[in-house]
Amino acid sequence: MAESDKKKPTRTVKSSKSTRAAKAPNEENKDEQGTSLEMSIESGENTEDKAVQPKLTERESQLVIVRRLIERGRKSGTLTEKEVLDELQEIDLNPEQIDKIYETLEGFSIEIMGDISDADAEETEVDLTIPEGIAIDDPVRMYLKEIGKVPLLSSEQEVELAKRIEQGDEQAKKQLAEANLRLVVSIAKRYVGRGMLFLDLIQEGNLGLIKAVEKFDFTKGFKFSTYATWWIRQAITRAIADQARTIRIPVHMVETINKLIRIERQLLQELGRAPQPEEIAEQMEMPPEKVREIMKIAQEPVSLETPIGEEEDSHLGDFIPDDDALAPAEAAAFTMLKEQLISVLDTLTPREEKVLRLRFGLDDGRARTLEEVGKEFNVTRERIRQIEAKALRKLRHPSRSKKLKDYLD
């Protein structure tokens, strides 16, 4: 087959401008950064020179990636959508920035080619092999086998289904979704090991696929899989942010933590050592105290039931001291003091004993006022004070106090 027959008709960027904005529905609040990025792209700023500097800010890293994309397109005159998406998914851009990049590519006379042939797409996009280290039971194998039987759709078939969906055909929705279930599995595999089970990742990705089916606009001229990828990825990453941690962290904080981790790894490679919080703070443009706070939030909780040792017969909680617990000697002395105190109080009259117990909170730890004790006995405060003074005089007698003085040390 001729080379031209393998590729679908070309299209320029401007025809799908509004849809590209929809491809990144979860990107917000980057207007200031976006303005400087767009100016640098249009002016042809030499970001490759910046790449050799000892340190790169996040903005400079973005410019390097975009510049690399432009240089590649200049050499061949064309780029495939897969090439563009593979590069742009490495950096955080809002819809307006994505549109500006596509318009800049068009300004350099770089055409964006349609996806490659269906056979090649099936080979590159749909990989139903099981990720290494993931335990899969028989029902899941059956699911993967079943979705593998559903053939991929051509662009014409997608347009036909989209037209039927526009008319309210629920069966067309089902058919379009089922034909792309394998795409969800392929994307979900990239997020294994981030705190969620493989099956849960597939389920969340399927929800994103359903959203893409509902919002797909066939009039823009691109394949459904290209559009659905953004919704599937968004659904999975949002689920990881919401569910992966034992203690939930807000999505915006998860994004900040991920940014910190990226910068920390970048500085580790550049410096050859673990970066200090002050160095990370300089790259993130925030105070070092804020960086330390984020690093503390990013720590994963550890279960006290974590097995310790080769035989795993001990747990982490067994080796953590309780700072509030009494030492054995102190606990024994406290028990003996309690017994001696009860013995001494037994030498008083029942009324005197009860007054002292209430006044000093010997039973429940709450000391009562003279007025509260007076109401208990239906006498005045002065009378309770007299009873208390008399009882304390008795306890100060050497025959009684000698038993308690040893515990004062």
Whole-number CA gyration radius for the chain: 36
Determine the distance from the C-alpha atom of residue 152 to the mean position of all C-alpha atoms in its chain, rounded to a whole number: 33
Report d(CA 229, CA 184) in Å as an integer. 8
Q: Does the model's pTM come out above 0.85?
A: no
Question: Which residue segments constitute the domains of the chain, with CATH numbers given?
Answer: 7-113 (no CATH), 155-225 (1.20.120.1810), 251-297 (1.10.10.10), 328-405 (1.10.10.10)
pLDDT at site 343: 87
- Which whole-number Å values give the CA distances from 196 to 16, 44, 136, in the listed order? 34, 42, 14
Give the whole-angstrom CA distance, residue 232 versus residue 234.
5
Do residues 67 and 48 make contact, with C-beta atoms less than 8 angstroms apart?
A: yes
Rounded Cα distance between 239 and 221, Å, is 30
Token pair listed for 371: 């007025």
Comparing 139 with 200, the larger pLDDT belongs to 200
Q: Is pLDDT above 50 for 171?
A: yes
Confidence of residue 205 (pLDDT cuts 50, 70, 90): very high
3-class state of residue 307 by DSSP: strand
Task: Label residue 188 exposed, middle or buried (CB < 10 Å: 0-12, 13-18, 19+).
Answer: buried
78: part of which helix (H) or strand (E)? Answer: strand 78-80
pLDDT the model gives residue 358: 92
Average pLDDT of the segment spanning 190-195: 83
- Write out pLDDT tens, residues 51-66: 444 455 556 666 777 7
Instruction: Write the pLDDT tens digit of every residue in 103-158.
Output: 677 777 776 665 433 433 443 345 555 555 555 556 777 878 888 888 888 888 88
pLDDT digits (tens, 9 = 90+) for 264-307: 999 999 999 999 999 999 999 899 999 999 999 888 888 888 88
Report the distance separating Cα 201 and Cα 156, nearest Å.
30
CB 105 within 8 A of CB 79: yes
pLDDT at 35: 47
List phi, psi (to 5°) of 43. Answer: -80, -5
Least confident range of 53-62, 213-222, 241-250, 302-311? 53-62
